[in-house]
Chains A and B, each alone.
Chain A
């Protein structure tokens, strides 16, 4: 079930790591440890698992250690203490050869500033991973072309990366990472450098791709943007000063913030806009399943609650939740939706949303 298991992971830069860890365990803050020992604690005792085919988001402010954590997983950065297991195998114990192998076949990465090779064409960039793995020219070219089509870049094969817009460059980055059908996709603020509109478009496309793939990849997605985290994440880890403050589903994070820090993050969030149908979905009962024909009204699992409210309220039966391929993912009942929407009753925004929806139903 778990694809990646991270256990007691620390990354300490410089100084005396043993002592820095000791002091941190005694409760001394990151800044004080730095002043005292000269060590920077980038990741502080992280333990979590990433489940098969989920999108696991790590969210935190700048300097909280997100990039370092991500790089410890494919060992672009060597963890100081702790283990990272992929499918039960300890990656931290891998030798160079094994490491290259897993990077070539199972895990690939997308970078914040794209990390493209300026001296290679778009096609050459996408081919790179296959080329270093020793695949023949014709085979890798064919795969690269297919992947470029998938991300909507057909016709740009021979262009140089510098000739493309930021959004297109990141599509190249994405295609380069997807070309060998990785099981695990590591994305370090992959969309942060893009304009808001393009970012939104890329987010939707990634979600769509994730839906289409069979088997879907497991995605570890880093962001500093809460909206993006809530939109993309099946589960979210909130990181602060190298520590994981909370790991949970979007609903859990919004409903039960683990501490003041997380609460301060989420308190101004409009739940009906960021929570999606998938957070209130339940499995259909047998008799319901029979009744839910493909032409009955349905909502997308990623649709925000505010958007599905009219549909669900109008229907006297639970509404089907179907992904873009039309697969039934479950149902949303009026009561479940209302319960979620009116949680923390008293918050004006949500009452407004309910009212809006009721008026919409009446008309």
Chain B
């Protein structure tokens, strides 16, 4: 018998595929339709309206500087055609549609990360055993080269957006779990005792004291999750997830410097926007829930 680790893992994936086919189909449909739905929503309004909305959001949660960056940066992603002295001129990268594709992918994988990562983080905070089990798994998930996730994702879900979301989800979830766990464990012992001494149920304790007090830390985790998700965009494009990874992949394959650079720049713009906005949300929560 050949005791090959890789073969064992392959066997596991095969076994999952044959025995849980129904489950994977349902999951694929749910993830696929969520992502498509988000994409449709993001593309519902004309791009200039969306750019103004994103700018307003940046202004509201972050600062005027971030808003200005959003306006200019997102403006560059779009394209404009006009005639000047009889010449047709086109400016902008013309990536609006694929930017929204990428945003939809990030949003839906982040949503999945939160849905699974936050409860897992809470559980790990409550139980040292769970924490001890989860910790190495998270390390594994984060250090394994992200490309590797593509293979089982494709085997289980085929090509397209869904395996992209799944691979992104696996890669981006660890900080969400870790920081939820950390945030809850950091809540001061006296605040916990106080809540107990007034007769809180465990649920009241969680929702009225632990989660609110852990919120700034949890939001820092979400910020990291979003950025990790974005870093998967190019990799996900390799399995046909579309989005801003496409021009980069195309640039590499055909050695088109211009295309590759534009794709990369678009990702950076989106990254800065997402980072500043999620960070500002965390800071706002932090200023109201700062530890006493």
A interface with B by C-beta (< 8 Å): 71, 74, 76, 99-104, 107-109, 111-119, 128-129, 131-133, 160-162, 169, 176, 186
Say yes or no: A119 contacts B197, CB within 8 Å.
no
How distant is the Cα of A118 from the Cα of B194 in the complex, in angstroms? Answer: 12
Q: A103-B197, A129-B199 are in contact. List 4 more A-B contacts (CB 8 A).
A: A74-B197, A117-B213, A118-B213, A132-B198
Which of A117, A128, A176, A186 neighbours the largest number of chain B CB atoms within 10 Å of its CB? Answer: A117
How distant is the Cα of A92 from the Cα of B101 in the complex, in angstroms? Answer: 60
> What count of chain B residues pass the 8 Å CB interface test?
23
Q: Which of B198, B212, B215, B292 contacts A108 (CB 8 A)?
A: B198
Scan residues 195-212 of chain B and give those whose CB is less than 8 A from a CB of chain A.
195-201, 204, 208-209, 212
Say yes or no: B197 contacts A161, CB within 8 Å.
no
Q: Is B88 an interface residue (CB 8 A)?
A: no
The residues of B that contact A76 with a CB separation of less than 8 Å are: 193, 196-197
Q: Which of A109, A115, A129, A162 contacts B188 (CB 8 A)?
A: A115
Q: Is B290 an interface residue (CB 8 A)?
A: yes
How distant is the Cα of A118 from the Cα of B292 in the complex, in angstroms? Answer: 6
Say yes or no: B288 contacts A116, CB within 8 Å.
no
How distant is the Cα of A111 from the Cα of B194 in the complex, in angstroms? Answer: 8
Say yes or no: A162 contacts B292, CB within 8 Å.
yes
Q: Is B289 an interface residue (CB 8 A)?
A: yes
The residues of B that contact A103 with a CB separation of less than 8 Å are: 196-199
Say yes or no: A128 contacts B292, CB within 8 Å.
no
How distant is the Cα of A109 from the Cα of B291 in the complex, in angstroms? Answer: 21
Scan residues 175-191 of chain B and give those whose CB is less than 8 A from a CB of chain A.
188, 190-191
CB distance from B193 to the nearest CB of A (A): 5
How distant is the Cα of A107 from the Cα of B194 in the complex, in angstroms? Answer: 12
The residues of A that contact B193 with a CB separation of less than 8 Å are: 71, 76, 109, 111, 115
Q: Which of A109, A160, A162 contacts B194 (CB 8 A)?
A: A109
* Nearest residue, chain A, Cβ from B204: A132
The residues of A that contact B191 with a CB separation of less than 8 Å are: 115-118
* Nearest residue, chain B, Cβ from A67: B193
Say yes or no: B190 contacts A114, CB within 8 Å.
yes
How distant is the Cα of A315 from the Cα of B194 in the complex, in angstroms? Answer: 50
Q: List 9 A-B contacts (CB under 8 A).
A: A100-B200, A103-B199, A109-B194, A116-B292, A117-B191, A128-B198, A129-B199, A131-B208, A132-B200
The residues of A that contact B209 with a CB separation of less than 8 Å are: 117
CB distance from A67 to the nearest CB of B (A): 10
How distant is the Cα of A129 from the Cα of B290 in the complex, in angstroms? Answer: 22
* Nearest residue, chain B, Cβ from A101: B199
Say yes or no: A104 contacts B194, CB within 8 Å.
no
Given contacts A118-B213, A118-B291, A119-B213, contact A104 B199 (CB under 8 A): yes
The residues of B that contact A160 with a CB separation of less than 8 Å are: 288
CB distance from A226 to the nearest CB of B (A): 25
* Nearest residue, chain A, Cβ from B209: A117
The residues of B that contact A115 with a CB separation of less than 8 Å are: 188, 190-191, 193-194
How distant is the Cα of A113 from the Cα of B194 in the complex, in angstroms? Answer: 11
How distant is the Cα of A107 from the Cα of B199 in the complex, in angstroms? Answer: 10
Say yes or no: B197 contacts A132, CB within 8 Å.
no
The residues of B that contact A132 with a CB separation of less than 8 Å are: 195, 198-201, 204, 208
* Nearest residue, chain B, Cβ from A74: B197
Say yes or no: A100 contacts B199, CB within 8 Å.
yes
Say yes or no: A117 contacts B194, CB within 8 Å.
yes
How distant is the Cα of A212 from the Cα of B198 in the complex, in angstroms? Answer: 24
The residues of B that contact A161 with a CB separation of less than 8 Å are: 292
* Nearest residue, chain A, Cβ from B188: A115
Say yes or no: A114 contacts B197, CB within 8 Å.
no
How distant is the Cα of A102 from the Cα of B213 in the complex, in angstroms? Answer: 26
The residues of B that contact A109 with a CB separation of less than 8 Å are: 193-194, 197
The residues of A that contact B199 with a CB separation of less than 8 Å are: 99-104, 129, 132-133
Sorted nearest first, the 7 A-B pairs with minimum C-beta distance are A115-B190, A104-B199, A115-B194, A103-B199, A129-B198, A119-B289, A100-B199
CB distance from B28 to the nearest CB of A (A): 39
* Nearest residue, chain B, Cβ from A128: B198
* Nearest residue, chain A, Cβ from B193: A76
The residues of A that contact B212 with a CB separation of less than 8 Å are: 117, 119
CB distance from A104 to the nearest CB of B (A): 4
CB distance from A118 to the nearest CB of B (A): 4
Q: Which of A100, A113, A176 contacts B190 (CB 8 A)?
A: A113
